[in-house]
Amino acid sequence: MALLQEVTSTFLRRFKAPPASLHRKWASHCRHASTGAVAQETDELEQSSFLQGEGPAQQAIERFDPAGVAKRRNRRLPPSRYQFRSPRYYRGPLHPHQPPRPSEPSSREFAPGPFSLPRLEQTYHDTLASDYMVLAYAHLPPGQAAFKKGERLRRWEGDSPYFKNRPLRGPRGGDTLRLLRKPVTFRNVPQLQRVTVHTMSSDAINSGAALHVSGMVLQAITNVRAEAHEVKKSVAGFGVRAGMYLSLTCELKGEDMYHFLSKLVDVVMPKMKDWPGVKGSSGDFSGNIALGLKAEEVALFPEVEVNYDMYPPKLIPGCHIMIHTTATTDQDARLLLTQIGIPFFGKLVS
């Protein structure tokens, strides 16, 4: 064989008679999965003994009814059959009771995993990422040397002999270095990383209920339990003391993030009255863009709109939404968000 080829079931079928393999048995039982679709999926799998096994007998499959067996059982099983709690503490690798992986449903740290393949994520990978790559490409004609930027940390220039090994100076205009921008390639296309939704209620200074309502609203729109934060320093002017819980944040990653942004762009933003868009100067020079929603705009989320009357009047909070991307400059982040559907207005500051 001149080329290496994956050992798939389609490949092996060319050389030997196909056994009564497992996938055909499954396919015949799946009334709703057409034989063609299931066979196509298993064709792409690597060949393994698991697929070649005989599988259970037809009679055993028909008789399989765990719920029925449990119902018909008269006696009570020993307690160990009904209870299982994974060990609370890790007692070393040699202990007989090992805690399961966090991805195991029986683990104490198990968090139920993705429930869907978000539409925005699919759109990004199929459409937006390739368009971004084309837009961000910078052509270097053959024979032309790449533009050489000045030093990031500047040397001391002058006659003094003490300049030679002196620590280098920072950039002009301040000591903070901006992030390096790497060229955008197929491995390096800016992506959405996480979204932080934050709200602070000054009503919570006097009433605890205000913070609870804010927490419920945030939980409803983001599907994530909000975290409360205490005030670090007392400021008499605002009437605020250190240790008071006044603000909440929700960190959204993965599926929750994509669903939240889809709702924001497709449902909430079109309904916002006289909204020009996100400010063009928004951005922290590192590829993260923030926008704010007023209380009446937060009420446009479908999860809040459905039981709007249940919330006490005027206690639905506004919020800040910070969208963190893997872009390293504001222009890159803005281009990505424009592709997703967020409009910008005013002068674009980077």
Partner 1 sequence: MNAGQKSARRIAASNGPITRDTVCVSCLHRLTQPSRRPASTAAALADPPSTPTQQPGHPNPPVSTAKSPRKAYQLLASPVLSRPPLLTRDLTSFEKAYYLYQKRLNERLALPFTRYFYYKKGTPGDVEWKRKIKVRKTPARDIGIYAAYGDEGWNDEVLVGDPTAERESVVEALVRDAEGKAIIDEEVVGDAEKEGLGAAGDAKTGEGQRRDLTKVEVERPVDRVTEADKANDLRSLSRKMDRTLYLLVKNREGRWRFPQDRVYGRENLHQAVERILVQGFGIDMNTWIVGNHPIGHHQMKYTSGGAPAPRLAKISPNRLVSTSRDRVEYEQEEYGEKVFFMKGRMMTGQADIAKNEYGDSEFRWLVKEEVEQAVTGGYWKSVKDMLAER
Q: Point out which residues bind partner 1 (CB under 8 A).
A: 26, 29-33, 37-38, 41, 61, 64, 66-67, 70, 105, 110, 112-117, 119, 122-123, 126-127, 130-131, 134-135, 137-144, 306-307, 309-310
What separation in angstroms does the CA of 179 have from each of 174, 284, 287, 326? 14, 11, 9, 11
CB closer to partner 1 out of 38 and 265:
38
At residue 319, the 3 state secondary structure works out as strand
Q: Which is nearer to partner 1, 284 or 305 (CB)?
A: 305
Among the listed residues 196, 211, 333, the one whose alpha carbon sits nearest the alpha carbon of residue 252: 196
User: Which of residues 127 and 281 has its CB atom nearest to partner 1 in the complex?
Assistant: 127
Contacts of 80 (CB under 8 A, 6+ apart): none
Minimum CB separation from partner 1 for residue 216, in Å?
8
Shortest distance in whole angstroms from residue 98 CB to partner 1: 21
Closest distance to partner 1 from the beta carbon of 309 (Å): 8
Token digits for 14?
């060319």
Give the largest CA-CA distance in the chain. 98
Between 3 and 310, name the residue whose CB sits nearer to partner 1: 310
Per the DSSP assignment, residues forming a β-bridge with 240 are 235
Do the Cβ atoms of 169 and 152 come closer than 8 Å?
Answer: no
H/E segment holding residue 246: strand 245-253
Angle between the 208-222 and 255-263 helix axes, to the nearest 10 degrees?
Answer: 100
Q: Tokens 């001391």 belong to which residue?
A: 156
**Closest separation in Å from C-beta 62 to partner 1:** 11
CB 249 within 8 A of CB 227: yes
Nearer to partner 1 (CB atom), residue 70 or residue 236: 70
CB of 59 to partner 1, least distance (A): 15
CB of 169 to partner 1, least distance (A): 31
Shortest distance in whole angstroms from residue 258 CB to partner 1: 12
Indicate the residue among 66 and 237 with the shorter CB distance to partner 1. 66
Please state the closest distance from residue 287 (CB atom) to partner 1, in A. 20
Q: Name the residue nearer to partner 1 (CB basis): 16 or 139.
A: 139
Alpha helices by DSSP H, listed for 6-93, are 9-13, 22-29, 35-43, 49-52, 58-63, 66-72, 79-82
- Nearer to partner 1 by Cβ, of 31 and 233: the residue is 31
**Which DSSP string do the residues of 250-313 spell out, in sequence order?**
EEEETHHHHHHHHHIIIIIHHHSTT---EETT---SSSEEEEEE-HHHHTTSHHHHTTGGGSPT
